[in-house]
Amino acid sequence: MEKRWNIQETDPAISQSLQASLRIHPVICNILVSRGIHDYAQAKSFFRPSLDELHDPWLMKDMQLAVDRITAAMQQGEKILVFGDYDVDGTTSVASMYQFLREQYANVDFYIPHRYKEGYGVSKLGIDFAKENGFTLIISLDCGIKSVDLIQYAKTLGIDFVVCDHHLPDATLPPAVAILNPKQADCAYPYKELCGCGVGFKLMQALANTWQLPAENYLRYLDLVATAIAADIVPITGENRILAFYGLKKVNEKPCIGIRALMELAAVQKEMLLTNLVFVIAPRVNAAGRMDDAKKAVQLFIEQDYAQALTYAKMLHSDNTDRKEADASITTEALELIAAEPDGDKRYSTLVYKETWHKGVVGIVASRLIETYYRPTIVLTRSGDIVAGSARSVPGFNLYEAVHACREHLLGYGGHFAAAGMTLSPDQVHAFKEKFEAVVQATILPEQLIPEIIIDAELRFQDITPALYNIITQMEPFGPENMRPVFVARNVTDTGFSKIVKEQHIRFVVKQGKISFTGIGFNLAHRFAIIQQNETFDLVFTLDLNEWNNEKQLQLKVIDLKQSH
């Protein structure tokens, strides 16, 4: 599939001014400017993140109310229940808050809803559990902002709620004692992009401040916060960047026993980066909720005995293996279903349904299908008497609005711009499929059906040096809104030594002028003909360090290539 190359443009005057003060390569200055870093002070806080730059937690709306209610509960001997969602953000939030409170107060427990028995967020079963067991205060983390009726129900039972959430609030807010969410319209908190665990971290910061505890009492959970930031795909800017930077430092120097056990099972050898948290830690934690019960993820994170932590980690590891098998086999079946459709390759959307598919992986399968058919995708399966599923979008297309436009065929739905979930009656599947296709066809822009590569800057081979690479590594941690820089090199030629390896990949040995570089292009074997034409071509790549036989060498990690024009 051909991809669109989108090269970022920056204001040359701002770039030159930044270059004059930083005295680093102009290409790096262009990248910094495109990421909103325009002067020396901004560059300093970007390259040298400091915990001193974390915002004052008291700037968050309702923080005083939250702290007062939790303090009162402890003074009056009330039972406190820490409640969180079943994903990485939810389980890390619960593990950190539960441990933080337990150090000061014994009457605390935690609750994670079961994905299939209770569904997402605050649940009636969870509130009933609290009532039966004498809890009078629930602290909800990574959920609760939309649970208006359930929190009202809890209130009738004499149970108060402190909500810590980061999802977009609706016009009507739940009747909680306090709502901590920087996305509230009237919240003055300067940084709006915290994940759920990040909001919980700010509450711990304020509680420690009130109770005159050392900062270490909440900073020790930064490894869990960084894991949540990585898994929840929030922007790596501002406060998130500081939390992720120091959280990674803790992951690499002294992680909690649970993370250490997961790293051991995954045979981690090198320094952990944010991408490792995304691909090594997060899938194993998420798999617990997808395949079974996410409670054991919290048990892993709070465990103090390494042997026991390893037992929990093995359970998560096993869930993840089951998840991978289910995901691979369902993806294969789904691709076969699409290929068998008479107009399968001409549609603007994908919707596939099979009653026996595992509900826990349909969202992952939808993402996989987009890798082949680049278009908004829905994967449905049977859940009891109804059909349930997940949808994923392509960048730029508002999936939630498209699903909302098909609501007459649905029993329920929810989600956001890029992902959504829905339930419907079995007899509505075909009508929903056709309506969704019509809505997408009418509203999607033609370019949104072509994958886009965002390129930061043009880079010549002569400028690729260890010094340049060293500055790029200092731009870590990489993630949304601060991705690893992507470059394009123009008019490159093959040295004659490039070749296909393992039938799928290209091992590049290329030159520009008199300077040559090696590189690897994963899954690019189908583009090898471009190299064989003995003409110049353009390469899109990131820079990588190849370590072989104790030698380190810069290499290109090739993303795409096209003939030069």
Which residue in 7, 30, 11 sits closest to 19, CA to CA?
A: 30
Instruction: Specify if 317 maps to a domain.
Output: no
Question: CA 391 to CA 375: how far, in whole Å?
Answer: 11
Residues 133 and 175 in one domain: yes
Chosen domain end from 211, 237, 254:
254
State mean pLDDT over 489-512: 95
Q: What is the pLDDT of residue 355?
A: 94
CB atoms within 10 A of CB 131: 16
Type of residue at 286 = N
Residues 554 and 405 in one domain: no
Q: What is the pLDDT of residue 474?
A: 95
Q: What is the pLDDT of residue 156?
A: 97
Instruction: Specify if 275 maps to a domain.
Output: no
Residues 247 and 134 in one domain: yes
- pLDDT band at residue 121 under the 50/70/90 scheme: confident
Number of domains observed in the structure of the chain: 3
Question: CA 445 to CA 181: how far, in whole Å?
Answer: 33
State mean pLDDT over 171-179: 96
Q: What is the pLDDT of residue 383?
A: 87
State mean pLDDT over 481-507: 95
Chosen domain end from 449, 481, 498:
449
**Mean of all residue pLDDT scores within the chain:** 94
CB atoms within 10 A of CB 463: 15
* pLDDT exceeds cutoff 90 at 165: yes
Of 61-65, 230-234, 437-441, where does mean pLDDT reach its minimum? Answer: 230-234
* pLDDT exceeds cutoff 80 at 1: no
pLDDT in tens, 406-437: 999 999 888 788 888 899 999 999 999 999 99
Q: What is the pLDDT of residue 515?
A: 97
* pLDDT exceeds cutoff 90 at 551: no
The pLDDT > 70 percentage for the chain reads 100
The token pair that represents 198 in the structure block: 């990040």
Question: CA 283 to CA 230: how far, in whole Å?
Answer: 11
* pLDDT exceeds cutoff 80 at 101: yes
Strand partners, 563: 537
* pLDDT exceeds cutoff 90 at 15: yes
Residues 412 and 550 in one domain: no
The pLDDT > 90 percentage for the chain reads 84
Instruction: Specify if 467 maps to a domain.
Output: yes
Residues 204 and 70 in one domain: yes
pLDDT in tens, 205-214: 999 999 999 9
Q: What is the pLDDT of residue 256?
A: 96
**3-state helix/strand/coil string of 353-386:** ECCCCCHHHHHHHHHHHHHHCCCCEEEEEEECCE
State mean pLDDT over 78-94: 95
Of 55-64, 77-86, 269-278, 396-405, where does mean pLDDT reach its minimum? Answer: 269-278
* pLDDT exceeds cutoff 80 at 560: yes
Instruction: Specify if 364 maps to a domain.
Output: yes
Domain coverage including residue 200: 57-254
Which residue in 509, 521, 511, 534 sits closest to 462, CA to CA?
A: 511
Q: What is the pLDDT of residue 187?
A: 97
Q: Which of 48-53's residues contact partners 24+ apart within 8 Å by CB, and which partners?
A: 49/241, 49/242, 49/245, 49/246, 50/242, 51/215, 51/219, 51/242, 51/246, 53/239, 53/242
Residues 239 and 123 in one domain: yes
Residues with Cβ < 8 Å from 25, sequence gap 6 or more?
A: 463, 467, 468, 471
Residues 542 and 440 in one domain: no
Of 334-338, 514-518, 543-547, where does mean pLDDT reach its minimum? Answer: 543-547
Of 46-60, 133-147, 311-325, where does mean pLDDT reach its minimum? Answer: 311-325
Residues 94 and 31 in one domain: no
70-79 exposure pattern, b = at least 16 Cβ within 10 A, e = fewer: beebbeeebe
Which residue in 364, 332, 458 sits closest to 25, CA to CA?
A: 458
Cis peptide before 477 (omega within 30 of 0): yes
- pLDDT band at residue 288 under the 50/70/90 scheme: confident
* CATH number of the domain enclosing 382: 3.10.310.30
Q: What is the pLDDT of residue 550?
A: 81
Q: What is the pLDDT of residue 435?
A: 97
What is the full DSSP assignment across 318-363? HHHHHHHHHHHHHHHHHHHHHHHSTTTTT-SSEEEE-TTS-GGGHH
Chosen domain end from 226, 254, 282:
254
The token pair that represents 318 in the structure block: 């096993």
pLDDT in tens, 188-245: 999 999 999 999 999 999 999 999 999 999 999 999 999 999 998 899 999 999 999 9
Q: What is the pLDDT of residue 344?
A: 74
Q: Is the dihedral of CA 517, 518, 522, 527 positive or negative?
A: positive
Instruction: Specify if 274 maps to a domain.
Output: no
Question: CA 411 to CA 34: how far, in whole Å?
Answer: 43
Residues 439 and 551 in one domain: no
State mean pLDDT over 83-93: 93
* pLDDT exceeds cutoff 80 at 448: yes
| Phi/psi of residue 487, nearest 5 degrees | -120, 160
* CATH number of the domain enclosing 25: 2.40.50.460
Residues 434 and 467 in one domain: no
Instruction: Specify if 331 maps to a domain.
Output: no
Instruction: Specify if 466 maps to a domain.
Output: yes
Question: CA 88 to CA 278: how far, in whole Å?
Answer: 10
Residues 494 and 396 in one domain: no
Instruction: Specify if 289 maps to a domain.
Output: no
Q: What is the pLDDT of residue 82?
A: 98
What is the full DSSP assignment across 200-246? HHHHHHHHHHHTT--THHHHTTHHHHHHHHHHTT---SHHHHHHHHH
Q: What is the pLDDT of residue 289?
A: 82
Q: Are strands 499-501 and 505-512 parallel, antiparallel or unpaired?
A: antiparallel
Question: CA 229 to CA 247: how far, in whole Å?
Answer: 10
Question: CA 381 to CA 352: how far, in whole Å?
Answer: 9
Residues 111 and 95 in one domain: yes
* CATH number of the domain enclosing 156: 3.90.1640.30
